[in-house]
Structure 1
Amino acid sequence: MGSEKHGDTSSFEVDSQDHSIQKKIKTLRHDETIRIGMLALATAMGITILGLGADVYSVYQHTHVPGDYLLALWPDELSVAPTAVLVAGSAIVVLVNLVTLIVSKVEFLRSKRLFHSLTSIIAPFIGTVLAVVTVGEFWAINASNTDDTLLSWTCRWKSVPMGQQPYFGTLCHENWAAVIMAIVVMVLEIGILALGSYQWFLERHIVTTVRSRQDSPVMS
C-alpha cells in the first residue's frame, strides 16, 4: 500500500489491484476537471457581466442631463440600483471564484486541510449565496421599484432609431445579457458547490479506507 497526501486527489497512491479505490480516485479526478471547468466558465461570465453592467452605467452617466433640458433622454426618477446590485454581486463572485481556482491549482495550498476545505466547500458556498442573493435582489428591486430602471427604460425605447449614444436597443440587449448570465452563474455556483461537497466527502472516504487498510494487521 502506498502513501496518501491529505487534500490532493492526484497524490493518492494505492495498490493497483485495489479496483474499488482506484475507481473512486478516477472519479475524483474526473469530477475535479469538471469542477475547474465550471469555475472557469462562471468566472468568465462574471467578468462579462461586470463589463456589460459597467458599459450600460457609463453610457447612462455620459448621456444623462438635468431635468430642465427639453430633450432629456433619461427620466429624473430612474433607479440604477438593480444594475449596481448585479455588478457588485458579480464582482464579489468573481473574486471568490478566482481564489478557489488559485487554491485548486496550487499544490502547496491544496495539500493543506484549511485551504482544501476552502476550495471544496466554503468558497463555493459563499459564491452560491452571493449569486442567489444578487439575482434575487435584482429582481426584487426591479419589480418593486415604481421608478424606471436602466433595464425597463432602455427596453421600452429599444425600437427607437438613434444616430448616437445612448443606443437604447444595444443597452437593452446588454442589460438582458447580463441578467441571463447572472442566472446561469447562479446555477453554475450551485453545481460547483454540489460537486465540491461530493468530492470532499468521497475524498474523506478514500482517506479513511486507505488508512484503515494500512493499519489493518492483515494488510501489514
Structure 2
Amino acid sequence: MEDTTQVPDQKPEFTSDFEEFETRDAGYEKRQRLARVVESVRFGLTVLALLAGLTILGTSADTLSVYNKTRSGSDFIISLWPAEFDIRPTTALIVCSAIIFLTSTIALVGMKVPTIRNNPFTHSTISFAAPTICLIAALIGTSFFYGVNASNTVNSLKSWSCQWSDISMNVQPHWGQLCKESKTALYLTVMCIPVEVLVLATTAWGTMSVNRPLVITERKGSPAMS
C-alpha cells in the first residue's frame, strides 16, 4: 500500500546580517544617564569640600581664640607660649577654609539653580572656577603649615600644643584638645587637594562628554533566504 502521509512543507528560514545599532534617542538617553551620574559625583565631592572647609574654619578659629585668650593672661606665673611663635599657619587655614566654604557654596548653588544651569557660559565658568579657587586655597594653607612646622626655631600652634599634649590642665589651654584640633584642620586641608582635583576632573569629563557628537552606527546588509 502506498504511503499517503504528507510531509508538511517546511517554511523557508530567513537569516539577517543586519548589524545591531543604537538609535539617536537611545544614545542620547545613555549619555544623559552617565551625565547625571557624573553630576551626582561632583555634587557629593563639592559637599564634602564644603563640610571640610567649615570644619577647618571652626577648629582653626577655636585654636586661635584660645591662644589669644591665654598668651598674656595673669593666671600663670610663666608664659604658656614661647617668644618665637608664628600664628600665620593657623591664620592661613582660617582664611583658606573660609574661601573653600564660600566657593563650594557658590558651586552648589550653580548646580541647583535653574537660571544658572540654563546659562552655559555662567554655569561652565562657576563649574571650573570654583574648584580651581578651592584647590589653590588648599595648597596655600598646606604650604604655610608645613613651611613653618619645618622650622627648628619657630613654633606654631600645632607644634607647640602637640609638644605638651600629654600634660593635663584644668583650665585653658587644653593642650591635647588644641593638638587634635590643629591636626584635624591640617589633615582636612590636605584632603581638600585631591577632592578638588577630582571635582575638576569630573567637571572636565562631563563637559567633554556633553559636547562630543553622538556616533550612530548605520545598518548594513539585507535579509537573505535559506
Q: Please tell me whether the aligned partners of residues 117 and 123 of structure 2 are also in contact (alpha carbons under 8 angstroms).
A: yes
Provide, for residues 109-134 of structure 1, a one-character-per-residue CA deviation record: whole Å limited to 9, x for no partner.
11112211123322222222222222
Shift of 1:164: 0.9
1:54 counterpart = 2:26? no
Report matched runs for 1:150-169 at 5 Å.
150-169=157-176
1:133 counterpart = 2:158? no
Shift of 1:142: 2.5
- Secondary structure of the 1:56 match is helix
Q: CA RMSD in A?
A: 2.2
In structure 2, what residue type is equivalent to 1:190?
V
- Secondary structure of the 1:18 match is helix
In structure 2, what residue type is equivalent to 1:137?
F
1:119 counterpart = 2:112? no
Q: Could you tell me which residue of structure 2 aligns to residue 93 of structure 1?
A: 100
User: How many residues align structurally?
Assistant: 194
5+ residue gaps in structure 1?
1-14, 211-220
Q: Please tell me whether the aligned partners of residues 88 and 144 of structure 2 are also in contact (alpha carbons under 8 angstroms).
A: no
Q: Please tell me whether the aligned partners of residues 138 and 193 of structure 2 are also in contact (alpha carbons under 8 angstroms).
A: yes
In structure 1, what residue type is equivalent to 2:181?
E
TM-score where L is the length of structure 2: 0.79
1:189 counterpart = 2:196? yes
Q: Structure 2 vs 1, CA of residues 209 and 120 (structure 1 numbering), >3 Å: closer, same or farther?
A: farther
Greater than 3 Å deviation, 4+ residue runs:
none
Larger Rg: 2
Instruction: Find the aligned partners of 2:137 and 2:54 in 1 and give their Cα distance.
Output: 15
Q: Please tell me whether the aligned partners of residues 59 and 181 of structure 2 are also in contact (alpha carbons under 8 angstroms).
A: yes
1:44 counterpart = 2:51? yes
Q: Could you tell me which residue of structure 1 aligns to residue 179 of structure 2?
A: 172
Q: Paired residue for 1:74, among 71, 78, 81?
A: 81
Shift of 1:17: 6.0
Q: Which range moved further: 118-127 or 48-57?
A: 118-127
Provide, for residues 28-78 of structure 1, a one-character-per-residue CA deviation record: whole Å limited to 9, x for no partner.
0011011111101110110010000000000011111279x7321111221
Instruction: Find the aligned partners of 1:157 and 1:120 in 2 and give their Cα distance.
Output: 44
Q: Please tell me whether the aligned partners of residues 132 and 200 of structure 2 are also in contact (alpha carbons under 8 angstroms).
A: yes
Q: Structure 2 vs 1, CA of residues 112 and 17 (structure 1 numbering), >3 Å: closer, same or farther?
A: closer
The higher-RCO structure (CA 8 Å, 6+ apart) is 2
5+ residue gaps in structure 2?
1-21, 216-226
Shift of 1:209: 4.0
1:200 counterpart = 2:207? yes
TM-score where L is the length of structure 1: 0.81
Percent identical among aligned pairs is: 33
